[in-house]
Amino acid sequence: MSFFALKNGVLHAESVALPAIAEQFGTPAYVYSRAALTESLREFQDVLKAHPAGKGALVCYAVKANSNLAILNLFARLGAGFDIVSGGELQRVLAAGADPKKVVFSGVGKTAAEMKLGLEAGIFCFNIESIPELERLNEVAGQCGKQAPISLRVNPNVDPKTHPYISTGLKEAKFGVAYEHALDLYRRAAALPHIAVAGIDCHIGSQLLDPSPFVEALERILALIDQLAREGIKLHHIDLGGGLGIKYKADQVQPTVASYLNPLLDKLQGRGLQVVLEPGRRLVGNAGLLLTKIEYLKEGEGKNFAIIDAAMNDLMRPALYEAWHDIDPVVPRTGDAREYDVVGPVCETGDFLGQARPLCIQPGDLLAVMSAGAYGMAMASNYNTRPRAVEVMVDGDAVHVIRQRETVAQLYAGEQVLPV
């Protein structure tokens, strides 16, 4: 179900018309739907509850997708855990009310200080990605008088069939340890005094619309688990990572959570392993949009441009990945459409949110950049000294500001000029 829909010719978020949000809070603005966020998490929880292998499973939201405290708090209240990749994200989820025993700490570059934070908080597990990281964690845990629960992130070398920047389980990736070296590394981990081997982790990529690579990866991981068991190294959980994609284009088919998870759970049945998942984009991507206003329509010799008040600093994905987002008029007009590049005011040729879009529009019209809930505000910057957008959450007919719009003064408040 979409919680962003036209009603009486006006695009709404749940029961609130988007023009009312623009009038009250200005543009650009990120707009999220509480109902959409809730439904996306419950889809995972319901599939897991219905399968014997899903008993006791932990859904750890990947905080990097969207780290707003209101979103984190909502998921925590619904029983989710969290997948973090920095000490800052750990402090965020704790501030949002997360249970530290439901937090997994991923990432290739954990500092000693970040490891100490995780140990002191009592997190569920550290996902280890190299031998030096393992040895550092053992040392830090010893200094803290603790044992660190770990899983190894193993690269199964499976092609996820997605954008190369978000393919993470291949041999060439900076993430994880090579499949061929994993057994030796587990032996090393089991011998360290301040390390507790708890599980295994695998994350092959992001925005996968074909679930079949997940099955291929799991089959390789299960073979490794059996090897470990023969050597007396018993694992307690398997972290299947995230990566399930969402529908960005109207003509795309979005795989269901059941079609993704059930084949994996079938293979795990009877093994006694707790299942951990790390969805990010799938939980928040289609639960948010970027609301923006057209400032000018500019006719060029080769192209027409719709110049809006949002820009690449607000939504980086199109410039970074050439990613597609549907761009819909908030109040559709009747008449002939013209083709426009939808661009922002940032001083870069790559500052576009969409190219060659057929639109019937006028200056002052509002546009909704759809499917912007993931890797939108989380990747936003202040390039060109542009304050970041306001964020609001719609809950039925109520609208709540969950992050105030920045001011220019805030951007340079921490700076100072040199003395004379």
Active site residues: 347
Taking alpha carbons only, the member of 136, 69, 57 closest to residue 391 is 69
Q: How far apart are alpha carbons 3 and 37 in whole angstroms?
A: 10
Strand 288-299 versus strand 366-369 pairing type: antiparallel
- Ramachandran bin of 356, using left for φ above 0, alpha for ψ from -120 to 50, beta for the remaining angles: left
Task: Map residue 276 onto helix, strand or coil.
Answer: strand
Q: How far apart are alpha carbons 368 and 220 in whole angstroms?
A: 42
Task: Map residue 7 onto helix, strand or coil.
Answer: strand
- Decide: 327 and 357 in contact? Cβ < 8 Å: yes
377: which 2 tokens? 């505000």
Token pair 């006028």: residue: 362
Q: How far apart are alpha carbons 130 and 109 in whole angstroms?
A: 10
Tell me the sheet residues that pair with 151: 127, 199
Tell me the sheet residues that pair with 21: none
- Decide: 367 and 353 in contact? Cβ < 8 Å: no
Q: For 41, list phi and psi in degrees, rounded to 5.
A: -70, -40
Burial status of residue 347 (CB atoms within 10 A of its CB: 0-12, 13-18, 19 or more):
exposed
Helices (H) and strands (E) in the chain, counts: 12, 21
Burial status of residue 109 (CB atoms within 10 A of its CB: 0-12, 13-18, 19 or more):
exposed
- Decide: 287 and 68 in contact? Cβ < 8 Å: no
- Decide: 33 and 4 in contact? Cβ < 8 Å: yes
Helix/strand/coil percentages in the chain, nearest 5: 35, 25, 40
